[in-house]
Structure 1
Amino acid sequence: MKFTEGMWRLREGIRIDWMNNVERLRVENENVELLLNKFQRHRGDTLNSATVTASVTSPLEGIIGVKLVHWAGQVDNGPHYQLASSSGHTKINHEKTETLSYDSGALNLAINTAPNELDFVFSGAKGKLTGHSWRSIGYVGDQTTEKSQWDDGIFFERQGYMLAALDLGVGEKLYGLGERFGPLVKNGQTVDIWNEDGGTSSELAYKNIPFYVSSKGYGVFVNHPGKVSFELQSERTTRVNISVPGEELEYFIIYGETLKEVISRYTALTGRPSLVPSWSYNLWLTTSFTTNYDEQTVTGFLDGFRDRDIPLGVFHFDSFWMKSYQWCDFEFDEELFPDAGGYLKRLRERDLKISVWINPYVGQASPLFQEGKKNGYFIKRTDGSVWQWDLWQAGMAVVDFTNPDACTWFSNHMQRLMDLGVDTFKTDFAERIPYKNIQYHDGSDPARMHNYYTLLFNKVVYEAMISRYGKSNSLLFARSSCPGGQVYPVHWGGDCESTYEAMAESLRGGLSLMLSGYIFWASDIGGFEGTPPPALYKRWVQFGLLSSHSRLHGSSSFRVPWIYGEDCSDVLRDCVKRKILLTPYLLAEALAGYNEGTPVMRPMFLEFPEDLNTYPLDTQYMFGSNLLVAPVFTDEGTVTFYVPHTPEDSQGKWVSWFDHSKTYEPGQWYTETHGFDTLPILIRPGSVTPINPKLKAPQDDALNGLEVLVNGSLANDMAVQVVNPSKTHNVLKVIKIESQSGNVTADDAGVKVVRIGH
């Protein structure tokens, strides 16, 4: 929130108690506690004013946390994010009334403890990262809200906020904060961390993550599950102002020698991303949302894919697999699917995996409503009645996942569907969660639960699948998320329009999410709202099949390609088969993401931080470490993209995926025109990319037909991991390539080497 009007004045009705002095401090083991107060002229200034207690901790090496507390007497009903921690990696040095130095690995926090000289400076190997300078820690009182009652006299209260402002340097750029669809660079924006169902064309977002990264080589995570407001150079042009309602705010500065290391430490703190089964990388097809369909319609679609030789891995039944007004009752509509179990069996005989749509709501017409009401499985109003509304399903209630019995109830219905043949679930919604005048089973604070709720929903669904299929064969397809949600993949971008602008904003949203701890992402190919023109459909197919996960989905129209013209079928076939042959590469990149937190799709600067030209780019990306992708956002096929410098081999050239004789100079811009059979896919110089053209599906034998693309000379011997498609956590084989010859070693003689570039 904005509390000031310029540098000198506060907004009407706002009061801020600024902290300017360290009154005293205490060091205990690896923790430091400081009592902060206002500017002190004499002892009388300790009266009639606020203090803030600042606690300094380090949960993991390279991470320093600061918790600011105004009043400590508040009731804390949670919830809280589960964070990892360790000890033994800090060093504290205190010079009384002068400075306190707190080290966590290579990250240092220096606090000026001289009288009235309060200052925090976080530093890394190259100097200052950020910190608190003059008037940047404060407690805000707002008397313009309903909380302030004038007739309360001396007990007049204000709505309180904790405010922490972190310094920004010249030219510093900020990224992340979840799946945000506006400009990739967040400077100048106001961002509220509050999950909403707002589509992809506004400032609202489904996946709000209070974590941003800076081009200076650090990240900031605000450990607060409720609403967090960020003013990113939008209030003070030299700062990020962070505020939360209430009496305390905790943030962590996360340092790394590279931004990849920053993200790795963030995921070590909040949870490493989980891996997904290899079959999920294949094409997904859905019935779409409001379209009419039954067994005959679905079968016709599948026959069409088979007859056109278009690989298909997953078929998804969207909302109306259940009867209207009964979402969710976990029952196939018997009028449309009179033999659901038999039909799913026949689909599986086609080597298809089955996905069904669910959400955490139960309509009043559902047979499960009375059962949930009777047993206390729903969120309640403060008077004890079930919270209901009509905005989605008539009279719907919301499952209370803080109730263990409700979780078991919900999971049992999922197990029944898995018995029927369902392999995975699309967990839609979980953003429309009430937060006023309600109560949870475990007493959680409703405002803090609003964002956190999606974590409980996806956790219940994901763990139900693990109990049945094991970790190697479990994933969901989720729309909403919050910190820690990367543990329950996969996530897709939500409701986008069928336009090039929406395709571009979807990419920006995906790249922002990839900088927020997530390694997998998908969009609705063709756009969700509307019917895409054939040209847009083909361009989005090219982009969507170069995302970690690929799903054809729409709202009021189907997304099978021949509806848009048989040339669309040709484009889809080529793109799906290209992605399947890339399976060894994708599985290896995903395994690296699982171990280190590096996303499969990534902004250019994450891979090339030394090239300053990469930092504003948001219409192209790296697909893994080796492939540059520039989607085409025009009918006529014109596309402009930048080819970055590569530190490994400054003399090497990038090579076109489609024409290995076509090369690109690092550090140059290019403008090209592409038909629908190509787009800019460039192979990195000095790279080794494993592929397998013999694969018919991602889960097939990875070694039979394995090839490696070697682009140019190699600076060092290289080793390529071949991941087991049946157990994507395991490595089948390590292929070694010699730098001198560019060939595999004798032990890997059965692997074909394709030399490209010079």
Structure 2
Amino acid sequence: MKFTDGLWRRPTGVQFQGGVEVVEVLQHDTRGIEALVAIRHVASRGDTLNGSLITLNVSSPMDDVIKVRIEHHQGGRERGPHFELFPDGEPPAPKTSAAKGGDSLSFTSGALKVDLNTAPFSYGLTFSDASSGSDNFLCAVQPKGSAVVDVPAHLTLGMQSQNGCLTTLPDTMVRTDHFGVDGTLNRGLVRFMLNETTLSIGENIYGLGERFGPFIKNGQVVGIWNQDGGTSSEQTYKNIPFFLSSKGYGMFVNHTEEVEFEVGREKCSKVGVSVRGERLEYFIIGGGSMKAALQNYVRMTGRPALPPAWTYGLYLSTSFTTSYDQKTVSGFLAGMRERNCPVRVLHLDCFWMKRYDWCSFDFDPDTFPDPERYIADVKKEYGVKVCVWINPYISQRASIFKEGAEKGYFLKRKNGDVWQWDEWQAGNAIVDFTNPAAHKWYAGLVTKLLDMGVDTVKTDFGERIPHQDVVYFDGSDPAKAHNFYSFMYNKCVFEAVEAKYGKNEAALFARSATAGGQRFPVHWGGDCESTFEAMGETLRGGLSLAASGFAFWSHDIGGFEGHPPPEIFCRWVAFGLFSSHSRLHGSNSYRVPWNYGDEATAITAKMVRAKCRLMPYIYAQSILAHEIGTPVMRAMVIEFPEDPACAFLDKQYMFGDSLLVAPVFHASEATFYIPAGKWTCFWTGEIIEGPRYVSKKDYPLDSIPVYVRPNSVLLLGPEDVELPDYEYGKAGLEVRTYELEEEVEVKVPTGKGAAWAGSVKVAPGGKITASEVKVRA
């Protein structure tokens, strides 16, 4: 949200009061700092009249994390929902200290320190990190950087609609008959709390959820507001109020409602954060590096569950608007098997239900007359798991609509009616997950599917959630519930799957998310077109999502909309199989590889087998992601922050600690960057020494640049393996070493949960010195 008109002026009607001076310190000890900040210099008693105070509260929930809360009026009721912090258990009490020196008060948590400037005219906060032994400046809040701002509602509407965020304000956010910050009575004002932190020269900002535009967020305004807009605009399905800085820290804004970030846009040297209301709460998260800050953020909002090993295999979808029945679906599976393209998960998209009936949870009797028998047969015949599509919208024609309406399971309007519209399906109602009975009811519907033999669920939608004329069962603020709805929805379904199959067998295929949603994997990138440009958008979205704490990610191979030409399908297949999770899915055309030619079929078979062979490595990386929060797929800058070239790389990524993957966005030419060291081609053994850019013309369509990091060990499954879930410790593993410098011990996962089968000790040259599992060199 922009509150200025250039450097000196403000838009007409905007009333701005920023903190300039600490006038009283209420607390300063190892628990934190509490202080009152005035919006003008207080030279006499008269200066205390007719002015606002901002209450500043600084504390720490865990080492290397500092919480800042700024408040204006404190008498308001804080309506939920709120993010679930530390769902994996409270962390140990932080090691904190407090000190005073001259006009400065300091508070330290772990290696992260904040200094409060108490000199006249000089309110400010300075954050620094001492992980490296000396204070490293991170960012600062300067005078007037914490502020209360009143804005005429018509100005907020204009700006919001341009930025793709709220186009209409919820009733609770428009303050009519409201006293502005200058003490006068105003009508139609919207109150904001604003915080601005410095943006240093050369500092880059990443993350803020799944974003399909430029990977570096500098120069952008980002509104945290979930929308269903495809991958070709500023709208996105997964908005996360968290960013990573190249200076090695993160900021998490603890607000479920819309948060707006002005990243070097309104003010070139500031990151502005604004929310509506009377308070703003954020965390500065340190740790000494981007990777450590990301791990600390995930520790706060929840570590990802570990997906079962079978989910890493190829998903084959029936696609969206295509016609399919039992015969068609079985034909796809038979065709894939005949062509040596093993499918691990069969996904039935929307039309497993009758048209207009979404989401009734009833199989269409015309196409699936005996669904339970069919599911059992297809699983037995083809060895697949079964996934079905659902969403949280219940159409008026659905068999369960009447029950939901009568029992109060849907969102309501203020007059007591069920909240309905004709978006997506005619007469859609929306499940109210704040109602415990509705939550249990919906989970029961999911459980019935699981009892029929369904193994996992695609939780589509969850973004088109109204915020006007809406009443939640528990009194939640509709504006705060809009993004958070995705969390409630996916949590309900994930826990139903977990209750049925156990902790080690639960997984979703989800589209919408907010902070904490990483706990319920897997997520996919949404509706993209079938172009190289959309393939690039998709990867940028995935890398931004990973920089926001999401460890497991997938996308629609070949693109969702349209029919990809063979070269795009082939390039996307390679990219898709070198992602943590892999799905063939389209809109109005099937994504079976033979529709794109014999070469596409051969490439699909090759890439599926390569991924299955790599599963001991991939699954070990997944366990680490589950335990400490580092994403399996991650941007180069997170792994190589000291390499200036990596700051801008958004067309390649690290796949775990050891593999560099560079999807090819061209029919024949590949371009990528190799960091310092001797990197080995996974396919050919060719060694390229970096740092350098590499451009290869006539790059083969049946390959993808995959390079192994120096000083790495890869454990590979058998060459003939066709499935991702096998006993990795008993599979006759092949041990490969790459420029190994010293003896290392590599853990071998079992492939069942987070347990380890044993370990392998390997010396330079590939010599195996000791082993707890059966291996072959």
Secondary structure, counterpart of 2:524 in structure 1 = coil
- What is residue 44 of structure 2 aligned with on the other side? 42
Kindly indicate whether the alpha-carbon contact (under 8 Å) linking 2:560 and 2:585 is maintained by their aligned counterparts in 1. Answer: yes
SS of residue paired to 2:735: strand
The corresponding residue for 1:654 is 679
Cα-to-partner distance string for 1:652-685 (whole Å, 9 max, x where unaligned): x11111211x210110111013121212111111
Contact 1:90/1:102, CA 8 A, preserved across alignment: no
Check the 8 A contact 2:209/2:239 in 1, yes or no.
yes
Deviations 1:332-390 (CA, angstroms, capped at 9, x unpaired): 10000111111100111021000000000100001111100000000000111100000
User: Structure 1 residue 29: deviation in Å?
Assistant: 5.6
Say if 1:603 and 1:617, in contact at 8 Å, map to a contact too. yes
- Of residues 336, 339, 345 in structure 2, which corresponds to 1:308? 339
Aligned to 1:712: 739
- Decide whether aligned partners of structure 1 residues 86 and 32 sit closer, same or farther in structure 2, where only a CA change above 3 A counts: farther
Question: TM (normalized to structure 2)?
Answer: 0.93
Does the 8 Å contact 1:546/1:623 carry over to 2? yes
Residues 75-474 of structure 1 correspond to what in structure 2 (within 5 A)? 75-84=77-86, 85-86=90-91, 88-95=93-100, 98-125=103-130, 126-145=135-154, 147=174, 154-157=184-187, 158-349=189-380, 350-474=382-506
AA aligned to 1:736 is: K
* 1:695 maps onto 2:733 in alignment: no
User: Do the aligned residues in 2 keep the contact of 1:608 with 1:645 (CA within 8 Å)?
Assistant: no
Cα distance 1:590–1:257, how it changes in 2: closer, same or farther (>3 A)?
A: same
* Aligned partners of 2:63 and 2:109 also within 8 Å: yes
Q: Give deviations 1:390-422, integer Å, cap 9, x for gaps.
A: 011100100000011001111111111111110
Deviations along 1:139-158, one digit per CA (max 9) or x if unpaired, are 00113449466899953252
Partner of 1:666: 690
| Deviation string, structure 1 residues 449-477 (Cα, Å, up to 9, x no partner) | 00000000000000001111001011000
Q: What whole-Å deviation, never above 9, does each CA across 1:32-60 have from its counterpart, x for those lacking one?
A: 21111112232222211211111111011
- Separation in 1 of the partners of 2:534 and 2:451? 38
Inter-partner Cα distance in structure 1 for 2:84 and 2:731: 42
2:727 alignment partner AA? D
Work out the CA distance in 1 between the residues paired with 2:771 and 2:462.
51
How far the C-alpha of 1:749 sits from its partner, in A, is: 8.0
TM-superposition CA deviations, 1:270-309 (whole Å, max 9, x none): 1011100000000000000000101111011011011111
CA contact (8 A) 1:587 1:728 kept: no
Structure 1 pair 351–713 and aligned structure 2 pair: CA distance change class (3 A): same
Partner of 1:650: none
Using the alignment, how far apart are the partners of 1:426 and 1:297 within structure 2?
20
Do residues 22 (structure 1) and 22 (structure 2) align? yes
Query: Structure 2 vs 1, CA of residues 6 and 343 (structure 1 numbering), >3 Å: closer, same or farther?
Result: same
1:547 is matched with: 579
Given that 1:92 and 1:100 are in contact with CA atoms closer than 8 Å, whether structure 2 keeps it comes out as no
Partners of 1:414 and 1:464 within 8 A in 2: yes
Query: How far apart in 2 are the matches of 1:294 and 1:420?
Result: 18
Mark the CA change 1:230 to 1:749 in structure 2 (over 3 Å): closer, same or farther.
Answer: closer
Distance in structure 2 (CA, Å) of the matches to 1:207 and 1:522: 13
Do the aligned partners of 1:17 and 1:49 also contact (CA within 8 Å) in 2? Answer: no
Checking the alignment, whether the CA contact within 8 Å between 1:30 and 1:90 is kept in structure 2 is no
- The alignment of Structure 1 onto Structure 2 pairs a total of residues equal to 742
Q: Deviations over 1:512-563 (max 9, x none)?
A: 0011111100010000010101110101001000000000000010000111
Using a 3 Å threshold, how does the CA distance of structure 1 residues 18 and 524 change in structure 2: closer, same or farther?
A: same
Tell me, what secondary structure is at the counterpart of 2:488?
Answer: helix
Name the aligned partner's letter for residue 689 of structure 1.
L
Aligned residue in 2 for 1:57: 59
Matched residues in 2 for 1:66 and 1:141: separation? 22
1: distance between equivalents of 2:279 and 2:210?
26
Counterpart Cα distance in 2 of 1:182 and 1:127:
31
In 2: Cα distance, 1:742 partner to 1:547 partner: 27
User: In the alignment, is the contact (CA less than 8 A) between 1:226 and 1:448 conserved in 2?
Assistant: yes
What's the RMSD between the two structures over aligned residues?
1.6
Q: Do the aligned partners of residues 309 and 23 (structure 1) sit closer, same or farther apart at CA in structure 2, a change above 3 Å counting?
A: same
Q: Deviations over 1:547-602 (max 9, x none)?
A: 00000000010000111112111010001000000000000000111111111111
State how far apart, in whole Å, the 2-side matches of 1:11 and 1:721 are.
60
Correspondence 1:722 to 2:748: yes
Deviation of 1:511 (Å): 0.5
AA matched with 2:629: G
TM-score by length of 1: 0.96
CA distance in 1, matches of 2:10, 2:575: 47
Structure 1 gaps of 5+ residues are 647-652, 754-758
* Equivalent residue for 1:732, pick from 747, 751, 757: 757
SS at match of 1:367: coil
Q: Is the 8 A contact 2:30 2:98 kept in 1?
A: no
CA distance in structure 2 between the aligned counterparts of 1:612 and 1:96, rounded to whole angstroms: 37
- Residues 241 and 253 of structure 2 are in contact (CA less than 8 Å); yes or no, is this contact kept in structure 1? yes
2-side partners of 1:29 and 1:261: how far apart? 24
Match of 1:686 in 2: 711
Residues 58, 90 of structure 1: 8 Å contact kept: no
Alignment CA distance shift 1:87-1:593 (3 Å): closer
> d(CA) in 2 for partners of 1:227 and 1:362?
26
Q: Distance in 1 between matches of 2:495 and 2:283?
A: 29
Name the amino acid aligned to 1:696: E
Query: Which letter maps to 1:723?
Result: P
Mapped to 2, the partners of 1:248 and 1:124 lie a distance apart of 26
- The equivalent residue for 1:756 is none
How far apart are the structure 1 equivalents of 2:24 and 2:16? Answer: 21
What is the DSSP-based 3-state SS (H/G/I as helix, E as strand, rest coil) of the residue aligned with 1:509? helix
In the alignment, the residues of structure 1 paired with residue 722 and residue 318 of structure 2 have an alpha-carbon distance, to the nearest angstrom, of 24
* Secondary structure of the corresponding residue to residue 315 of structure 1: strand
* Alignment-mate amino acid for residue 82 of structure 1: E
SS in 2 for 1:251: strand
CA distance in 2, matches of 1:86, 1:71: 31
CA contact (8 A) 1:51 1:70 kept: yes
Output one character per residue of 1:593-645: Cα deviation in whole Å (capped at 9) or x when no partner: 1111111111111111221111100011111111111111112x101111001
Matched-pair contact (CA < 8 Å) for 2:532–2:665 = yes
Q: Which residue of 2 aligns with 1:494?
A: 526
- Give the counterpart letter for 1:93 in structure 2: A
Letter in 2 for 1:719: E
Cα 1:746–1:136, aligned 2, differ >3 Å: closer, same or farther? closer
Q: CA deviation at 1:91?
A: 3.2
Give the Cα–Cα distance (whole angstroms) in 2 for the partners of residues 588 and 144 of structure 1.
52
Inter-partner Cα distance in structure 2 for 1:251 and 1:438: 28
2:166 equivalent in structure 1: none
One-letter code aligned to 2:606 = D
Alignment partners' CA distance in 1, 2:13 and 2:329:
60
